[in-house]
Amino acid sequence: MKKLSIIAILVIFCAVFGFAKVNTAKAVQPIRLGLLLPYTGVWAWVGAGADPGAELAVQEINADPALWPIHSPIKLYKEDTETKSAPAIAGARKLYDIDKVCGIVGPTSATVR
């Protein structure tokens, strides 16, 4: 429930500030949210547990208009930190520069901040 609340707050923030100038005549664009987790490395168990939770939260929010009245679907973009700083920085740059996410959830370790 805590993860769902955090993701919902991030997505609402992205929706309010990321789509402030969206023309309503255009097709609905998904809200891009980055997930920067350790899928490999020492903390891989954290990524293995958090990833399904994030996916479930996105599915629940996208499926229920009462939870998500903005009508823009949420799309997750994922990158592996490998529990190291260099891959985490590269992943964050890719999420921001290439995937064009409006927010990033993670990382989970102080070594990658």
Task: Please give the chain's pLDDT, 113 residues, in tens.
Answer: 566 566 656 656 565 555 555 555 567 889 999 999 999 998 999 999 999 999 999 999 999 878 877 788 999 999 999 999 999 999 999 999 999 999 999 887 776 65
Give the pLDDT confidence score for residue 7 in this predicted structure. Answer: 62
What percentage of the chain reaches a pLDDT higher than 90?
Answer: 54
CATH code 2.40.160.10 for 30-112: no
Q: What is the pLDDT of residue 98?
A: 97
For residue 113 the two structure tokens come to 């901040």
Distance CA 13, CA 103 (A): 9
pLDDT of residue 13: 58
Residues 57 and 4: beta-carbon distance below 8 Å: yes
Instruction: Tokens for 97, please give them.
Output: 């520069």
Q: What is the pTM of this model?
A: 0.72
Cβ distance 10 to 26 under 8 Å? no
